[in-house]
Amino acid sequence: MIPFNQLKPLHDQHADEILAAMKRVADSGWYILGPEVKAFEQEFADYHGVPYAVGVANGTDAIELALLAGGIGAGDEVITVAHTAMATVTAIESTGATPILVDIDPQTFTLDPEKARQAITDKTRAILVVHLYGQPADLDALKAITDEHNILLIEDCAQAHGALYKGKKVGTIGHMGTFSFYPTKNMGAYGDGGAVITRDEEFAERLGALRNYGQSTRYTHQSRGTNSRLDEMQAAILRVKLKHLDSHNNRRRDIAKFYNENLQGVVIPYVRDGVQPVYHLYVIRDDHRDQLMSDLQERGVGTLIHYPIPIHRQQSHQDLGMSEGSLPETEKAVREIVSLPMYIGLTDDEVMTVCTVINQLRG
């Protein structure tokens, strides 16, 4: 059996470093907003070439707090996609704002800038772009739109740690970049975690207060906030993971290259010029996806769909009033996409096996 994903091989590679980091925290007696979080924030900011990073409890909170730091709330609209994890839209709704869902570019599965432009109203306060599967979206076009309309561009980088757009790391081109450190991410913690990066000092100060009950100094609260703090243990683990992020991403690109060069009979991922994806997921398209997945399962190859039901067709979001057919490219994609095994520890022989089985099925 070749599983869709497994985390233990990655742990085994760096177990000594990770366990030493965990022991360091346990021995310190400081477990919340201490030296490990401060050090990780500085290292994560330096990695991205920005002055500020703020650690938070998870990736959903990272988006919500970025929006709140940008002054977004009830009565505002935020444009994003329906082809994403529920967390993206949950975060928007948690601020009191309304998500405006638009269609995707069918080649990259990321937000279509022209559809975003068409969706702008006098209530629009931000575009929240998702770098889905580790594929950078069209940031030049989106930044031109947000600059023209004087609204925020916030990058959801939960699946794109270290991805490059024209030589710049994603998360650094918009006003803020948000990250999840859920264990399956390219840089995952051993539990939940998240962060927001920015070049703007005012945004960073607001984020730091918002994550800790709106507190500016101890027991002094100038605004309302919440409890969304990255803990010391996760920060220490992430400091180890950050040192290896680029090499892990290189391995993911090697796996993707192997797939690209050997798969037949299916549509492989498209990569736009000037970007360097990090392949959080390797997603192909096939006209008979369900049968392909069933056949692969019978032959010992694990697969998943990211994501089988777009947000606007979820039972939970029927109140958005978007009928079937309202986002045609999104709806077509979710009928055809399938994610193949992609993780650190996946061997060349296993990747070749996946390719051989698919080629036999589609040859």
Average pLDDT over residues 358-363: 94
DSSP track, 108-121: T-SB-HHHHHHH--
Q: What is the pLDDT of residue 248?
A: 98
Q: What is the pLDDT of residue 216?
A: 85
202-232 pLDDT, tens digit per residue, is: 999 999 999 999 998 889 998 999 999 999 9
Q: What is the pLDDT of residue 60?
A: 98
pTM of the model: 0.98
Contact present, 87 and 63 (Cβ < 8 Å): yes
Q: What is the pLDDT of residue 363?
A: 78
- Domains of the chain plus CATH, in order, are 8-101+108-239 (3.40.640.10), 245-362 (3.90.1150.10)
> Of the candidates 106, 56, 61, which has an alpha carbon nearest to the alpha carbon of residue 88?
61
Q: Within 13 Å, how many C-alpha atoms sit on residue 197's CB side?
A: 27
Average pLDDT over residues 332-359: 98
Backbone phi and psi for residue 43, each to the nearest 5 degrees, phi listed first: -70, -40
Average pLDDT over residues 77-88: 98
The yes-or-no verdict on residue 277 having pLDDT over 90 is: yes
The yes-or-no verdict on residue 310 having pLDDT over 90 is: yes
Contact present, 159 and 186 (Cβ < 8 Å): yes
91-120 pLDDT, tens digit per residue, is: 999 999 999 999 999 999 999 999 999 999
